[in-house]
Structure 1
């Protein structure tokens, strides 16, 4: 018999008995724990938990389970969410003229390696409309002229917000989308927009990062996936990785290696998000493996 499965995430001030109370609640409601992880941060004094479980009691409805969980969170003073494990989160990908991350995410999506729905791809350029069409995903061209003023940018962002609402988007992925989002949009997307940066932040900001790295003779190049905030490239870090390089590589070879790292790091961050493994801890994240 197949039972409905859920993923529970919770964060609150650390206190005695949290695990006992949560596991007791699940047992009382006919639930069987499949996987559990928790972490108490001695610096922030916060406790974080993720539990994957199955509801095995036919007499307990989804509404009853959710109402009981809300009541438990209120008692604990916790921020908690209960996710249907079978539901695929809805992801909107935004891209400009560099497509390696987009291509990688679409391949993982089509191959079943990334459990998501992608109802929209948004770009300020037309380069990847054919790629989107090959995956049967609607492509939305929202152009911005070079040097566009604030009013034009806000008008474009208003159309982005319309798409977010229309398609009930859970996560926005900036797959090398080379436009800075306004503080208002960053605030609206807090905790549900992921960007990929072409270095260990905050190194080599700006244009032609691999050319900058080449001039400095770096021995490691890397990438950082982080949540988007109003502070450019300063959001909570989700994942990072590096690749060793040496003096024999030219700029083009460094760029190719770097783009491979970017693709892998972004894919990991997106997968962990849609599996509900990432919890915000102030300016940092807790990522349960």
Structure 2
């Protein structure tokens, strides 16, 4: 069986008005495309913000994007759209950041090797040497940037230089350093973090201990985009599991790590597939 032809994904956000879906669909039709999936959402029935993810393919394989773009540009201008068009056959480049814990890293690497995550992984960056052997086992370059309070700015500049031209987005797979504002700004909306808590509860470094002290009955994990405000970026995905009075801190951590793996993998997959649109400090996720 021949491979499926590559599709295009059109992502749109704009003020909500009548006629948007019809106008977009007509552009696809006139450019020789066929819509295979369409999702849309408005923040309000009238006068809100409209979001759309439309996936289509060209009926003639040799067709390019120039004709569609020329037809769509005036429509986008008329409706004041923020938009982008991406190809399904051009995988994103994902750089992984880690510290000492390996569970999220190994899970992502397993999903990548098995074909579940259609990305390229150019490198792994860490502030500790502990996981270099894991990277080597997957044949991936591993770069160590030891960071302390005095050298963080300089080390992050070196990290940015290394990443230039190699990475489209970054995943903090339990990377236990707070990135500086210049670093975050350079990859604005392109850094995914897994936080071992159901945000906004228990932000910071020791959420399981604080959850245990509070006597919670559920614990959770949150995948979110990184912003300058600690653990307050737009949330992509969350999940929870129940705990009880018999569970100690070690039990909470064990259960939580299962959640962290699953939640981070979902968020990464949705980002790879261009299913996430950021709106202020919120997201619209077309799953």
The TM-score, its normalising length taken from structure 1, stands at 0.94
Aligned twin of 1:30: 32
Aligned twin of 2:203: 205
Q: What is the DSSP-based 3-state SS (H/G/I as helix, E as strand, rest coil) of the residue aligned with 2:121? A: strand
| Ranges of 4+ aligned residues in structure 1 off by more than 6 Å | none
Q: Matched residues in 1 for 2:212 and 2:180: separation?
A: 32
Aligned twin of 2:20: 18
| C-alpha displacement of 1:28 | 0.2
- Residues 90 and 171 of structure 1 are in contact (CA less than 8 Å); yes or no, is this contact kept in structure 2? yes
> Residue 266 in 1 paired to residue 264 in 2?
yes
Superposed, 1:140-219 pairs within 5 Å as: 140-145=143-148, 148-149=149-150, 152-167=151-166, 169-219=167-217
Q: Matched residues in 1 for 2:186 and 2:73: separation?
A: 24
Q: Matched residues in 2 for 1:195 and 1:249: separation?
A: 26
- Residues 29 and 57 of structure 1 are in contact (CA less than 8 Å); yes or no, is this contact kept in structure 2? no
| C-alpha displacement of 1:272 | 0.3
Specify every segment of 5 or more residues in structure 1 that has no aligned partner in the other structure, as ranges.
Answer: none
- Residues 3 and 56 of structure 1 are in contact (CA less than 8 Å); yes or no, is this contact kept in structure 2? no
Q: Matched residues in 2 for 1:73 and 1:237: separation?
A: 27
Superposed, 1:36-115 pairs within 5 Å as: 36-42=38-44, 45-57=48-60, 60-115=63-118
Aligned twin of 1:8: 10
Q: Matched residues in 2 for 1:84 and 1:9: separation?
A: 12
- Residues 41 and 47 of structure 1 are in contact (CA less than 8 Å); yes or no, is this contact kept in structure 2? yes
Q: Matched residues in 2 for 1:247 and 1:19: separation?
A: 52
Q: Matched residues in 2 for 1:282 and 1:6: separation?
A: 25
Q: Matched residues in 2 for 1:229 and 1:118: separation?
A: 23
Q: Matched residues in 2 for 1:204 and 1:232: separation?
A: 12
| C-alpha displacement of 1:214 | 1.6
Q: Give the RMSD, CA atoms, in angstroms.
A: 1.6
